[in-house]
Amino acid sequence: MEAFLSNIDRVVDGFSWTVRLTLVSALLSFVLGILLTAMRASPVPLLRGLATSYVEGVRNTPLTLVLLFCGLGLNSALGLSMADSVAMDVFWWAVIGLSAYTACFVSESLRAGINTIPLGQVEAARSLGLTFTQNLRLIVIPQALRTVVGPLGSVLIALTKNTTVASVAGLGVQEASREMKLMFDQGIAPVLPTFVGFAIGFLILTLPTGYFFGWLSKRVAVVR
Amino acid sequence: MRVGRISSILGGTAALAFALSACGTADVGGGGGDGGNGGETITIGVKYDQPGLGLLEGDAPVGFDVDVATYIAGELGYEPDQIEWTEAASANRESFLQQGTVDMVVATYSITDERRQVVDFAGPYYVAQQDILVAADNEDIQGPEDLEGKVLCSASGSRSAHNIVDDMGIDAELREAGNYSECLELLGNGTVDAVTTDNTILAGFAAQNPEDFRMVNNPFGEEKYGVGLPEGSTERCEEVNAAIAKMWEESVATQALEDAFGATDFAYEESAPETEDCE
Amino acid sequence: MSVQTAVLFDVPGPRARVRNVVYTVATLILFAAGLAVLYLGFNRTLTERETSLFDPATWAVNPAGQWAADKWEPFLRPETWTSYVLPGLQNTLTAALTASVLAIVFGLLFGIGRLSERWWIRVPAGAVVEFFRGIPLLMLIFFTMALPIVAWQLFDIPTGTFQVTALAAVVTGLTLYNGSVLAEVFRAGILAVPKGQSEAAQAIGMTRTQNLWLILIPQAVTSMMPAIVAQLVVLLKDSALGYIIAFPELLRSFTLLATRESNVIPAAIICALIYIAINLTLSRVAIWLERRNSRRGRPSAKPTDAEGAPTKADTATGAAGAVAVEPTVQEPLPDTLTEEGRAEPGDGDTDGNGTDGDGSPAGRG
């Protein structure tokens, strides 16, 4: 354990990338997820079709491939650069890939949340003359969000763990699991303590998130 | 009734899985080594993902390492159709030899003191060096010192890029890819300025698209490629060394190098390396 | 998807129809522009072009680009499919099926373990489930691969005494992670079986074990079938992580093929299509099972029910509970939203890489 602790700066460094990836991707995927959900419920058939195909396609593709497409396809083959330094460039492309992927799950949860809203709510809104966007913005999304706080928490936990894939797939972000693998390979510290240390790191990130969202979902639940 | 249905579904899935896992030897293409029996066939571990050295071409691997292995096996009394090929990835070469999964490993396997603790080495049959691969129209980079401020691709788990950045103190930015074919993709698109590793590996990739890439041909360091054998195979080691010497004398080795790398500007070694003593 | 069933918006009047047409056209233009950027970008005629954007030469297939025929031609050769794709697919399915069976066994054991009356079973089972649900699959795979080194470092067992094959590492990782998620699914399913069932079992003199195996588990498994299948989709998708440790599954086979043909991007596209086809089929099975359940008047319970499932009346169980309780409310809506209708929040968290599919850990205990 001492050998592991003496390398604690590398561990902290790895987790700092994990946390940054998680937070930025969470925000972006939330926004993107709401947009996708709005498109899927919209009166324009083309928008519905596009959004549905996107969600169905991307969520059935392994994340590794989504990130590979971002790293080797958009970033490299199309020559789109997000930042000057390599480290930030791959970071942003990892964020884009993770968000594009996670947004599908945000959208699926929200759509399910919308399905729980009593029909009377939207009918009342329509009879008051609310337009589609007003209906969505004032009636549907606020209620749907409150019902899906729990599932969104699961999506966030999933995202936290999924950031590990950004260490491979043509991007090589130096997040925590990559540091762990390097420490295994370079024989810096014994394997078991290293693994346990990194596992505790991830549990510190995921367990409180789960409990917080569980608490929140109870607090904001719509009583029907 | 319901219970019966469900359990029969589960049971069916289980049966299917076990049936599949029974026949699933988890190899792509070539043979699944069934252990070192030495008599009828010989099982040799080579790389499947290194063009020019050992690359899976449909059902069998091809490349310089494969040619060397075939020649050595021939000298040991095995016809080419008595050879079973198995993929030996970098991570499993030692354990394959220790467990007898393979009889021999010819897979860009550098001889190091650390590895000599657990396996025996014959050879070396070739001494590779580290070099740099750049885009064909890049004239700026002529050696490691020109990489200052450039973006360098390294394959995950490889030390090569760190040799330049950490050991030589050259301030290059690193972009890590999963493997060297991803690195070549990044290099071809201009996302990275250079790729570095053993010159044999680079030349193998360059030979696939000779008009796109250029070897800098300013090599440094040395990697002695040996033939990995199970520990305690001194006799087999002597035979392999004799085969390697003969292979160079008969110019079979240079021909194999020419076949693999002739299309590139890689200046490969044309003389036999000095073999080391078997333990 | 007809207008009549739409509830979020009124039947469009003349102005709304015009607006919809405008939106449709605008979307089409944006979409076409996006496709064009992708096409030209991969064709290497977007930024490096010498000709004008409207010159046919810009749009012609560039032999140096990703659409060049020689990069796609390998997929027309039968040998590509017999030597790379099919063996890769076989390995993917082997790993996924083996891990599925083991994960279901693991899930049953630990799901029931967490419901045990004895604390010395309940607490460790809970700890194991929480541990494996909370850490990334990739770390589990790396660790399993390193087990021979652990044995050497801790117990001085020489390396090479036993070896962990890539298949074993992938299957172990997938089993532990997905098994933990399934444990929660089974637990939620058992808790969701109406109390009267157990009471009736007790009344006719069944033992606890009989009650569990003959009454509770069969009902739980039936109601949880959609969630189980959804989790198996996750498992199959996660098996792609095996490529990192050179397990020759589908993605790894495509990597080998791409190394040989230097066509990384075309290979990635074809590989993604194969995964999507397999997973869509499996997802359809999940949806079909769910519909069948609902037709028979059995609500499909969801892993999210686990949060607070003990008290079914508790509205805080979240959306899944609400849906199950009020089937009449959400019946008309699904058709408006998407064609396949009723996905529930529990579906939302089935996703890749060893993660999700689980309800949030909240409210347990």
> Could you read off the pLDDT of C179-219 as tens digits, one per residue?
998 898 888 888 888 888 888 988 998 888 888 888 888 88
3-state secondary structure of B83: strand
Class of residue A6 by CB neighbours under 10 A (exposed 0-12, middle 13-18, buried 19+)? exposed
Contact by Cβ (8 Å): C352, A62: yes
For position A102, what pLDDT does the model report?
92
Portion 139-178 of C in contact with A at CB < 8 A: 139, 142-143, 146, 149-150, 153-154
DSSP letter (8 states) at residue B164:
I
Distance from CA of B274 to the nearest CA of C (A): 30
Q: Which residues of A touch B186 (CB under 8 A)?
A: 72, 76, 170
Give the per-residue pLDDT at B100. 72
Residue type, C322: A
Q: Do C260 and B51 touch (CB under 8 A)?
A: yes
Q: Say if residues A6 and A193 touch (Cβ distance below 8 Å).
A: no
Task: Find chain A residues with C-beta within 8 A of B191's C-beta.
Answer: 75-76, 79
DSSP letter assigned to residue C46: S
CB-based contacts of C8: which residues, under 8 Å, 6+ apart? A41, A43, A122, A126, A132, A135, A136, A140, C336
SS3 B24: coil
Fill in the amino acid letter for A18.
T
Mutation target to probe the B interface, by most B beta carbons within 10 A, among C92, C93, C94, C175 is: C94
User: Are B17 and C246 inside 8 Å of each other by CB?
Assistant: no
What would the mean pLDDT of A126-150 be, rounded to a whole number? 83
Which pLDDT value is given to residue C301?
53
Amino acid identity of residue B259, one-letter, is: D
Which of A2, A17, A35, A116 to mutate: most C Cβ within 10 Å?
A116
Nearest to A147 among C318, C339, C354 (CB): C318
Length, in residues, of chain B:
279
**Residue A75, number of CB atoms within 10 A of its CB:** 26
Q: By three-state DSSP, how is residue B58 classified?
A: coil
Closest CA to B77 of B122, B124, B38: B38
- What is the average per-residue pLDDT within C331-356? 36
Cβ contact (<8 Å) for B51 and C79? Answer: no
Chains that touch B (3 or more CB pairs under 8 A): A, C
Neighbouring residues of A211: CB distance < 8 A, sequence distance ≥ 6: C361, C362
3-state secondary structure of B79: coil
Q: Has residue A97 got a pLDDT over 70?
A: yes
Cβ–Cβ below 8 Å for A181 and C143: no
Q: Which pLDDT value is given to residue C1?
A: 37
Rounded alpha-carbon distances, angstroms, from residue C149 to B98, C137, C143: 14, 19, 10
Which residue does chain B place closest to A185, by CA atoms?
B157
Question: Residue A139 above 60 pLDDT?
Answer: yes
Is pLDDT at A50 greater than 50 in this prediction? Answer: yes
Q: Which residues in chain B have Cβ-Cβ distances shorter than 8 Å to A79? A: 189-191
Q: Model confidence at C29, in pLDDT bands (50, 70, 90)?
A: very high
Q: What is the maximal distance between C-alpha atoms in chain B?
A: 77
What is the predicted pLDDT for the residue at C6? 54
Is the confidence at residue C354, as pLDDT, over 80? no
Q: How confident is the prediction along chain B (279 residues), in pLDDT tens digits per residue? A: 444 444 444 444 444 443 333 333 333 433 333 334 445 888 898 988 888 888 888 778 888 999 999 999 988 888 888 888 888 777 667 767 776 778 899 988 888 887 787 788 887 888 888 888 898 888 888 887 788 888 888 877 677 777 888 878 788 888 888 778 888 888 888 889 999 888 888 888 888 887 888 888 888 888 888 899 888 888 888 888 888 888 888 888 888 888 888 877 788 888 888 888 777
Write down the pLDDT at residue C323.
27
What's the rounded mean pLDDT across residues C149-160? 72
Sign of CA dihedral A139, A141, A146, A147: positive
Amino acid at A142: P
Are B129 and B220 spatial neighbours (Cβ–Cβ below 8 Å)? yes
**Structural element, H or E, at residue B202:** helix B199-208
Are B174 and A86 a contacting pair at CB < 8 A? yes
The arithmetic mean of pLDDT across residues A145-173, rounded, is 84
Q: Do B173 and A85 touch (CB under 8 A)?
A: yes
Q: Is C247 on the interface with B (CB under 8 A)?
A: yes
- Taking CB atoms and an 8 Å limit, are C101 and B178 in contact across chains? no
Residue B117 DSSP class: T
Closest CA to B195 of B211, B208, B180, B209: B180
> Looking at beta carbons, which residues of chain C come within 8 Å of B27?
87, 248
Contact residues, chain B, for C214 at CB < 8 Å: 3
Burial state string for C47-75 with b = 16 or more CB within 10 A and e = fewer than 16:
eebeeeeeeeebbeebeebbbbeebbebb
The amino acid at residue B265 is: D
Q: Which residues in chain C are contacts of B51 at CB distance < 8 A?
A: 259-260
Residue A30 above 90 pLDDT? yes
Residue of B174, B183, B189 to mutate for A, most A C-beta atoms under 10 A: B189
Which of A18, A49, C225 minimizes the C-alpha distance to B7? C225
| A&C contacts, CB < 8 Å | 319
- Give pLDDT tens digits for A150-160: 888 888 988 99
Give the Å distances, CA to CA, from B8 to B1, B5, B12, B270, C162: 11, 5, 6, 66, 36
Kindly list the residues from chain B whose CB atom is less than 8 angstroms away from the CB atom of residue A172.
Answer: 156, 174-177
pLDDT for residue C159: 60
Element of type H or E holding B132: strand B120-135
* pLDDT beyond 60 at C338: no
The pLDDT, as a whole number, for residue C244 is 76
**Searching chain B, which residue's CA lies closest to the CA of residue C261?**
B208
**Range among A114-118, C13-17, C122-126 rated most confident:** C122-126
- Cβ-based contacts of C88 with chain B (< 8 Å): 28
Average pLDDT over residues A93-108: 91
- Greater confidence (A191 vs B129) lies with B129
- Distance from the Cα of residue C282 to its chain's centroid: 9
The alpha-carbon gap from B143 to the nearest alpha carbon of chain A, in Å, equals 21
Q: Do C272 and A106 touch (CB under 8 A)?
A: no
Q: Which residue has the higher pLDDT, C37 or B15?
A: C37
Report pLDDT for B39.
54
pLDDT-derived band at C2 (thresholds 50, 70, 90) equals: very low
User: Which residues of chain A neighbour C339 with C-beta distances below 8 Å?
Assistant: 52
Confidence band, pLDDT 50/70/90 cuts, at residue C297: low
CB atoms within 10 A of CB B75: 15
d(CA C173, CA C144): 7
Taking a C-beta distance cutoff of 8 angstroms, is the pair C329, A43 a contact? no
Statement: residue A202 has pLDDT above 80: yes
Give the Å distances, CA to CA, from A187 to A111, A194, B52, B200. 48, 10, 31, 27
C271 touches chain A (CB under 8 A): yes
Amino acid, single-letter form, for residue C252: R
Measure CB to CB from residue C258 to each of B13, B26, B181 and give the nearest one.
B181
| Contact across the interface for A169 and B156, Cβ inside 8 Å | no
Asked if residues B154 and B176 have their Cβ atoms less than 8 Å apart, the reply is yes
pLDDT value, residue B3: 43
Cα separation, C246 vs A203, whole angstroms: 28
Q: Do A69 and C272 touch (CB under 8 A)?
A: yes
pLDDT of residue B5: 44
Does residue A130 sit in helix, strand or coil?
coil
**Assembly ipTM:** 0.83
Q: Do C283 and A108 touch (CB under 8 A)?
A: no
Instruction: Identify the closest residue of chain A to B90 by CA–CA distance.
Output: A185
Residues on chain A touching B182 (C-beta within 8 angstroms): 72, 170
Chain A, window 48-77: residues with a beta carbon less than 8 angstroms from a chain C beta carbon: 48, 50, 52, 56-57, 59-65, 68-69, 72-74, 77
CA-nearest of A162, A101, A148 to C356 is A162
> How far is residue C122 from each of residues A17, C186, C189, C194, C360, measured CA to CA in Å?
36, 14, 17, 22, 19
Let me know how many helices (H) and strands (E) chain B has, helices first: 9, 12
Q: Look at residue C299 in the predicted model and tell me its pLDDT.
A: 57
Chain C residue numbers touching B59 (CB-CB < 8 A): 83
CA distance C214 to chain A (A): 31
Contact C324, C301 (CB under 8 A): yes
Which residues in A lie closer than 8 A to residue C143 (C-beta atoms)?
Answer: 191, 195
Q: Quick check: B228 contacting C, CB < 8 Å?
A: no
CA-to-CA dists, residue C180 to B214, C104, C107, angstroms: 51, 9, 6
Domains of chain B: 13-127+224-261 (3.40.190.10), 129-221 (3.40.190.10)
Q: Which residues pair with B227 in a beta bridge?
A: B122
Distance of CA B227 to the CA centre of its chain: 12
Q: Is B89 on the interface with C (CB under 8 A)?
A: yes
| Interface contact A157-C136, CB threshold 8 A | no
For residue A183, give the chain B residue with the closest CA.
B157
Q: What percent of chain A has pLDDT over 90?
A: 14
Helices within A42-169 (DSSP H only): 45-59, 63-68, 86-115, 119-127, 132-134, 141-147, 149-162
Of B21, B29, B209, the CB nearest to C94: B21
Averaged over C340-349, what is the pLDDT? Answer: 37
pLDDT band at A23 (very low <50, low <70, confident <90, very high): very high
DSSP secondary structure letter of residue B259? H
Q: How many CA atoms lie within 13 A of C154 on its CB side?
A: 11
Distance CA(A51)–CA(A153), nearest Å, equals 23
Cβ-Cβ contacts under 8 Å, A75 against chain B: 191
Whole-angstrom Cα distance, residue B199 to residue B269?
11
pLDDT of residue A186: 67
- Residues from chain C contacting residue B209 (CB–CB below 8 Å): 262
Surface of A (78-137) touching C: CB under 8 A: 78-80, 101-102, 104-106, 108-119, 122-123, 126, 131-132, 135-136
pLDDT band for position C298 (50/70/90)?
A: low
Q: Is A182 on the interface with C (CB under 8 A)?
A: no
d(CA B254, CA A40): 64
Residue C52 CA: distances (Å) to CA of C55, C58, C59: 5, 7, 10
Q: What's residue A81's pLDDT?
A: 79
Nearest to C250 by CA among A71, B274, A16, B28: B28
Q: Which residues contact C113 (CB under 8 A, 6 or more apart)?
A: C121, C122, C124, C125, C183
Distances (CA, A) of A182 to A157, A176, B10, B97, B235: 24, 10, 40, 24, 37
- Residues across chain A: 224
Helix (H, G, I), strand (E, B) or coil at B133: strand
Interface test with A, best of B165, B186, B187 (most A CBs within 10 A): B186
Of B275 and C328, the structure prediction assigns the larger pLDDT to B275
Sheet containing B54-57: which strands, arranged edge to edge? B49-50, B54-57, B60-62
**Looking at chain C, how many residues does it have?**
365
pLDDT for res C103: 93
Q: What is the arithmetic mean of pLDDT over A87-110?
A: 90
